Amino acid sequence: METALTRLVGIRYPIVQTGMGWVAGPRLVSAAANAGALGILASATMTLDQLRAAVREVRSRTDAPFGVNLRADAGDAGDRVSVIIDGGVRVASFALAPSRELIGELKEAGVVVMPSIGARRHAEKVAAWGADAVIVQGAEGGGHTGEVATTVLLPQVVDAVRIPVVAAGGFFDGRGLVAALAYGAAGVAMGTRFLLTSDSTVPDAVKARYLAATVRDVTVTRAVDGLPHRMLRTELVDSLERSGRTRALVRAVRRAAGFRRLSGLGWRQMVRDGLALKHGKELSWSQVLLAANTPMLLKSAMVDGRTDLGVMAAGQVAGVIEDLPSCAELVERMIAEAGEIIGALPGAGASMRG
């Protein structure tokens, strides 16, 4: 299945495994890459040394192209870009729009720049700055998300830019892939669906919690960090929503201090990152502090398996996923299903080129 995305990146299939903090490590990324998809490492929860080691490990596990996701507003973003370039990483993915200078540095080194965006104007901006492709996440997607559904946002962006557009938010099977291609996308990006594979290192008890969820168990809350955050509804989420500001801040300080020790970041750099997060958003300083708390809440569930102490970012598709295939089985199943659907369309030819 060849599309503008597969030609740009050099992958077999137009499927992207997104960079999920504490989830998208070397094992999952290399498995996705070996399956013919684009695997993306999540670096925001790694130190620089951990990122270097993770890049080396992925390269030892696969010869296929892969990417690294990073926060464009992080204080050490320039150092992480250097790791990407030195490590021969094919794709740089950004959770927020990177600066024109970062895009230029990466492109000069031959790295494909593919930011994630949640609005048409953001896609237009990064395209004008030289981005090679964009991942468009609609409201159905997990983690921090917007209010516009993928089916509305995607065609807006496809019409607005002349670079490959990858659709994210609400995709989990071959039907969704065909739908995205019909909208004009060059492929789909999936987080929750790859989290729920046998190659994911997320603890089994946490995966079971996801598999048991219905679509009504996936909610959007601002209680975690002051920003709209799509996740599974749990007793902890209910408790955070009921907590007063003082109690929430005490929790945030404790966990932010834990993240500082774990990540190796100093308080000064965490404050700089908080300032970058606050920029352009109507966040109080208490919400900025809560945002520093988020990585530890995610780690509690995704690494430690404590569903009672952590949060579980989730796309709405968590409510319809029922199995744990390997990455290879998932990708093969999606491509086979997409081929059958395309082949059954009236007037469809044998080619699956997009």
Whether the CB-CB separation of 138 and 148 falls below 8 Å is answered with: yes
**Average of pLDDT values for 313-339?**
98
Which backbone phi and psi does 161 adopt, to 5 degrees? -125, 160
d(CA 124, CA 157): 8
The first and second tokens of residue 290, run together, are 């809560």
Higher-scoring residue by pLDDT: 93, 276: 93
d(CA 34, CA 28): 10
Which backbone phi and psi does 167 adopt, to 5 degrees? -90, 135
- Give the Cβ contact number of residue 271 at 10 Å: 15
Span 237-275, pLDDT tens digits = 888 788 766 666 666 666 555 555 555 556 566 556 555
Question: Domains of the chain by range and CATH?
Answer: 4-202+321-344 (3.20.20.70), 204-316 (no CATH)
**Average of pLDDT values for 101-123?**
97
Strand pairing category for 91-94 and 112-117: parallel
What is the predicted pLDDT for the residue at 281?
57
- DSSP assignment of 185-196, as one string? -SEEEESHHHHT
Extended strands (E) in 211-254:
218-221, 229-232
235, exposed or middle or buried, with CB in 10 Å at 0-12, 13-18, 19+?
exposed
Span 42-52, pLDDT tens digits = 999 999 999 99
Burial annotation 331-352 (CB, 10 A radius, 16+ → b, else e): beebbebbbeebeeeeeeeeeb
Residue 295 has pLDDT above 90, yes or no: no
What is the predicted pLDDT for the residue at 275?
53
d(CA 13, CA 181): 12
